[in-house]
Amino acid sequence: MAHRRSDGLRRLRVGALVLAPALALMLAGCFGRGEKTEEEVLNVAPPDLLYNEALAHLEAGEARRAAEKFEAIDSQHPYSEYARRSMLMSAFVHFRRNQYQDAINDAQRYVTLFPASPDAAYAQYLIGESYFRQMPDVTRDQDLARKAIEAMGEVVSKYPDSDYANDARQKMEVARDQLAGKEMQIGRYYLERREYLAGVNRFKAVVEEYQTTRHVEEALHRLTEAYLALGIVPEAQTAAAVLGHNFPDSSWYKDSYRLLSKGGFAPEENQGSWISRAFRGSGRA
């Protein structure tokens, strides 16, 4: 009996010795194809544990460590509910650390994968806010302002009843004001160089596209100035008349009135002018 037991143990040991190299080769083959290493497999933590650890780091002000935990969940447990949450939290942490492009990438991925999620509105808002925070002054290229308007416009159109829609509208107006300011800067540059037609085109863009911004009053005055310089008096008179009708207390209207008076003219609206049509279309004139 003891002899048979000894033979059995011997066979198990021999079998184990035979299987061990085969198992090692199989694992090596799997890991060699770019899959997780044995150490990584053994060290994978449950997603709920990683998520709670990330939140703890975030609460402690350790944003970098929190981001690492959220990213670990996304890579180690990609199909879990915690991965979905972590994707959004990762976007928030990147935003909080002023890593705006990373925040945009994470939030855009979330919106693409989970467009019907209750948190999709917030993810889209993070995209817009990340662009908004990067907007430069009017002396520089305004591509980021345009992207902020586009992203915030998605919040307003797709999630109009969300908690972020009103703020998105306000941020859009600020960004639009920025674009109008850029047009005014270029238009004034052309006026200084006496390139009046080029200046008119810039001020026209403000009147037609950015009429609700604070720059429209000056744009109308600059149109008065440019058209007078070009000898197109009816358009200069119309620009001043529309300015006076819509902004009677504006200092820009006073300047336009004085400018016309020096030439012996007065504000007079030509209803066929593009300026009149632009304001009638907006409901202001």
Name the helix (H) or strand (E) containing 169.
helix 165-192
Ranges 41-50, 65-74, 121-130, 189-198: which has the least confidence: 41-50
Distance CA 226, CA 243 (A): 15
pTM to 2 decimal places: 0.78
Query: Residue 18: pLDDT band by 50, 70, 90 thresholds?
Result: very low
Distance (Å) of CA 183 to CA 23, 134, 219: 70, 19, 9
Count the neighbouring beta carbons within 10 Å of the beta carbon of residue 283.
Answer: 6
Q: Is the pLDDT of residue 124 over 90?
A: yes
Q: pLDDT tens digits, residue range 152-200? A: 999 999 999 999 999 999 999 999 999 999 999 999 999 999 999 999 9
**Predicted local confidence at residue 281, as pLDDT:** 65
- Give 84-120 pLDDT, tens digit per residue: 889 999 999 999 999 999 999 999 999 999 999 999 9
**Of 84-98, 140-154, 219-233, minimum mean pLDDT range:** 84-98
Query: In whole angstroms, what is the distance from residue 116 CA to residue 112 CA?
Result: 10
Whether the CB-CB separation of 163 and 186 falls below 8 Å is answered with no
